[in-house]
A = this chain, B = another copy of it.
């Protein structure tokens, strides 16, 4: 097991990465205020892992309530969130009851937001079971639900007490979901770590085959990169925005085609291709660097082109982006493989060139 730290003063917390952690209640117990937890999971994950987690907690004398949600991004909304509140109230959970998110990014984001707002704030723990959640969404305290007009529009910055990533859960992860998770892994290399990016180029096949050692390295390095960025800018007032590389285009794709059609990682992958294209058009990187990123994304089995979304529709959807300031869109762009920056001065004409790729 490897343990990292997200350094946020009084809100600091550990990230544990290792095999078989779901069965180790000793990682959870130090973070409980009461011997009662509510495990929030979904219909896909529950049959696979709920019993193991429940067993280890009950053996330690902890009462376990489970809340099983429908699976899928299209359920990341108020209606589903309210199922969590209903169950918490029905089981008389108090503000000292810890919520545990057992699942992927949707479960983690919703459980985190439920914890942030239940009785004005209950503690919660992330137990991510997908690669995407392990390398990205479970770390950093971004919680949210979607709004019909935009992804993650309603949410809170609210840090978990711990992140516990059991690498064994990746064995049951569908290949498409593994690939989607690799998009965020590639992102971390692209924006912050050229050596890691090169390592990914050398190890992409091992990762796709589910090689445990390779996956473990990818998760640990991704968490290290993300934790370092979050530690210097918890609430995304500055440098944290670079973690949104590919996300301005990606969110527009997700919203435009309807939640659940594209996986988040797939949309981000294509968003990175578009952002790299824009970076090259602006002369920030060489076309060869953009091609290098596109090639790695393609080798990961992720989409590198899109058809059927007009430039106007893209603009309409992107105008709701949370990074927008004073009506100006802000894009995370590459300065090099391994280095990103935020630009608010992209001309409409230049942007139109990139958007034409999708029309």
Contact = CB atoms under 8 A, between A and B. Distances in A.
A265 interface: no
A121 B234 CA distance: 13
Interface in A122-165: 142-144, 147, 149-150, 152-157
A325 B94 contact: yes
B96 A153 contact: no
Given A34-B326, A95-B322, A324-B94, A85 B120 contact: no
Given A118-B153, A153-B119, A156-B116, A92 B327 contact: yes
A154 B85 CA distance: 8
Contacts of A149: 86, 89-90
Interface in A322-336: 322, 324-327
A120 B327 contact: no
Interface residues of A, number: 39
Interface string A88-116: 01101011100000000000000001001
A85 B147 contact: yes
A292 interface: no
A82 interface: yes
A199 interface: no
Contacts of A257: none
A150 B322 contact: no
A96 B327 CA distance: 10
Contacts of A155: 117, 119-120
A139 to B, nearest CB: 16
A320 B92 contact: yes
Contacts of A235: 120-121
A313 to B, nearest CB: 16
Contacts of A153: 85, 89, 118-119
B120 A156 contact: yes
B322 A119 contact: yes
B156 A89 contact: no
Interface in A287-331: 319-320, 322, 324-327
A153 B144 CA distance: 18
B92 A325 contact: no
A120 B90 CA distance: 27
Interface string A45-86: 000000000000000000000000000000000100010011
Contacts of A86: 149
Nearest to A321: B94
Contacts of A92: 319-320, 324, 327
A94 B319 CA distance: 10
Contacts of A157: 120-121
A326 B96 contact: yes
A147 B142 CA distance: 24
B96 A325 contact: yes
B325 A156 contact: no
Closest 10 CB pairs of A and B: A89-B149, A119-B322, A120-B155, A117-B154, A94-B324, A120-B157, A120-B156, A95-B322, A117-B156, A34-B326
Given A89-B153, A94-B325, A120-B143, 19 more contacts: A34-B325, A78-B78, A85-B147, A85-B154, A90-B149, A94-B322, A94-B324, A94-B326, A95-B322, A113-B117, A116-B156, A117-B117, A117-B156, A120-B142, A120-B152, A120-B155, A120-B236, A120-B322, A121-B156
